[in-house]
Amino acid sequence: MEANASNAPTRVPWNKDKLTGQKAPLKLKEIWAIRIRLQLGAKTRDLAMFNLAIDSKLRACDLTKLRVRDVCLGNRVAPRATVMQQKTQRPVQFEITEQTRDSVESWIKTAALCPSDFLFPGRIHASPHLSIRQYARIVHRWIKSTGLDDTAYGTHTMHRTKASLIYRRTKNMRGVQLLLGHTKLESTVRNLGIEVDDALEMAEQTDV
């Protein structure tokens, strides 16, 4: 029995050597740093995905399953879209800014996508759309391109970035709750890490 136990493979925790917990949102200058790099690199798909991820504030499971018809009216990307969230089964509406509309339209044209097609098709036959794991790798690649520590960021970074920026500008928690499609205000507070961030902000503004 002892010999068998000693020969058993050691299980390595999934989070070994990884930072877990709340992922940081991007700051405005970091958003533009990534956006410019994607533009200069002519990364049409990634630019559309990045811009739409920021604007929509969608979770990875919802963003990766978007179809062309979800964001388009006819041949044009709509200024607003409504998506049913997988996690809450509640609809959430979001604005699509002009620069995002331009980048998404460019991607749709380049990829020759039809209204019923997934907006971000998978690149393996087993998956008709981009998988969450593939999306996560792409997000980490974006983060690394700016010189940031990508272990502090993840797909949830994209989900909370614009909401965090809106909250910082307006301090309107109820408005952010509606934008994120949360049923409980506590979920919004936890999602944004507001209590911790506000405490740090106040500390930075206090002269000692």
Q: Note the residue count of the chain.
A: 208
Helices 155-170 and 173-180: angle between axes, nearest 10 degrees: 150
Residue of higher predicted confidence among 186 and 108? 108
Which tokens belong to 183?
Answer: 């049923």
pLDDT at 202 over 60: no
Of 105, 116, 117, whose CA–CA distance to 47 is shortest?
A: 105
User: Which residues lie below 8 Å from residue 39, measured CB to CB, with a gap of 6+?
Assistant: 47
Least confidently predicted of 11-20, 103-112, 134-143, 145-154? 11-20
DSSP three-state, residue 17: coil
Q: What is the mean pLDDT of residues 136-163?
A: 91
Band (23; pLDDT cuts 50, 70, 90): confident
Q: What is the mean pLDDT of residues 78-100?
A: 92
Counting residues of the chain whose pLDDT is more than 70, the rounded percentage is 69
What is the CB neighbour count within 10 angstroms for residue 8? 7
pLDDT at 164 over 90: no
DSSP three-state, residue 6: helix
Q: Which domains does the chain have, with CATH numbers?
A: 28-144+153-182 (1.10.443.10)
Model-level pTM?
A: 0.76
Least confidently predicted of 6-20, 116-130, 152-166? 6-20
